[in-house]
Amino acid sequence: MQTQKNISLRPYNSFHLESMASEFIFIKSSADLQNVLEQPGINPALVLGGGSNILLTKNVEGLVLKIEIRGIEELKEDASHIYVRAGAGENWHEFVQYTMKRNWGGLENLSLIPGCVGAAPIQNIGAYGVELKDVFYELEAYDRKEKKIFSFGVNDCQFDYRNSIFKTSGKGRYVILNVTFLLHKNPVLNTHYGAIREELNRMGISSPTIQDVSRTVIKIRRSKLPDPADIGNAGSFFKNPVVDQHVFLSLSEKYADMPAYPHEDKSVKLAAGWLIEQCGWKGFREGDAGVHKNQALVLVNYGKATGQQIFDLSEKIGKSVYSKFGIELEREVNVF
């Protein structure tokens, strides 16, 4: 374990943004992490997983911890479930594929989400009608304040739509070491999501397996989302706004075709991408910072944009959506 100096973070973020870290270290085990964090005067500036949900707007003056804690372990099982623990540095999609090969259900709808296992609880990742919280059992995290490892059950994590305690009151305090999932030996599929059903029908699959669902999700995602290997991006830049019924009703009187989905407690989730598109941003480009031509929710780096330029573009988008619809967009991406 060696601290490196003046490291470019461009290879470590999916926006491919330049940002220099004054110090950088790979963390390969809990012991590594404890050794580093228990040294006097150490206060890491940034924890990185796969860098697929971060916007680096400046250099990092301080230590970057790149989490590479690996390992997948079957902890226990009962008649219908299996408890599987994965290290925070495991690649998320490879882990999903590992579970698919063993016929353990639960993660199929979350196939092909970039990033690492340790970051998945941070924003309670979700796609195609499933969220991390639906398959979560517990996690272990190092508490930088108490200098101890704690376990967090599902209620401790305070999961919400693209949110958890790790993005709110516990932000910056915990380093996630591993996550344990509760997977199903007799999976119940979640194929209500329109696009999944349509694609399964197109493929003539009437009794899908979890592997079919996973393949379908992969196919849909590849056709819809820009691949960061081709063009820098961090997926959805903003969250879909959740509004009260009365806000929804007054907007839908004016915009009859506005997409909306029922959310918890009778609130309504609107499509941030649609709102942005209505303001004319889809396909917009200013220098190398832009809005994807097919997905208004995805901001992109065409090559040499800086994080600050992408941030400034996101500010302008947020202001125009507010002035047209009176709705404040919240960034999903973590800004550093």
Ligand X SMILES: Cc1cc2nc3c(=O)[nH]c(=O)nc-3n(C[C@H](O)[C@H](O)[C@H](O)COP(=O)(O)OP(=O)(O)OC[C@H]3O[C@@H](n4cnc5c(N)ncnc54)[C@H](O)[C@@H]3O)c2cc1C
H or E stretch covering 328:
none
162 is catalytic: yes
- Cβ-based nearer residue to ligand X, 229 or 256: 229
For the chain, strand residue ranges (E) read 4-8, 20-27, 46-48, 54-55, 60-67, 72-77, 81-87, 126-127, 130-131, 136-143, 148-153, 174-184, 232-233, 242-243, 260-262, 268-270, 285-286, 289-291, 299-301, 334-335
Radius of gyration, CA atoms only, the chain: 20
Closest CA to 285 of 302, 298, 297: 302
Tokens linked to 250: 């007054």
Tell the smallest beta-carbon distance from residue 100 to ligand X (Å): 17
Closest CA to 317 of 274, 281, 272: 281
- Cβ-based nearer residue to ligand X, 225 or 313: 225
The residue annotated as part of the active site, out of 68, 138, 199, 332, is: 332
CA distance 48 to 66: 5
Residues that bind ligand X (CB under 6 A): 14, 46-54, 67, 88, 113-116, 118-120, 122-123, 125-127, 174-176, 225, 228, 233-235, 334
Tell the smallest beta-carbon distance from residue 231 to ligand X (Å): 10
- N- to C-terminal Cα distance for the chain? 25
- Cβ-based nearer residue to ligand X, 64 or 200: 64
Tell the smallest beta-carbon distance from residue 304 to ligand X (Å): 19
Tell the smallest beta-carbon distance from residue 336 to ligand X (Å): 7
- Cβ-based nearer residue to ligand X, 63 or 113: 113
- 């209620």: which residue's tokens? 155
- Cβ-based nearer residue to ligand X, 27 or 270: 27
Tokens linked to 69: 């804690």
CA distance 106 to 57: 36
Phi then psi dihedrals of residue 81, to 5 deg: -125, 160
Torsion region of 222: left, alpha or beta (phi above 0 gives left; psi -120 to 50 gives alpha): alpha
Tell the smallest beta-carbon distance from residue 204 to ligand X (Å): 26
90 is catalytic: no
The residue annotated as part of the active site, out of 111, 164, 236, 314, is: 236
320 is catalytic: no
- Cβ-based nearer residue to ligand X, 164 or 309: 164
The residue annotated as part of the active site, out of 14, 23, 52, 162, is: 162
Tell the smallest beta-carbon distance from residue 117 to ligand X (Å): 8
The residues carrying an active-site annotation are 162, 236, 332
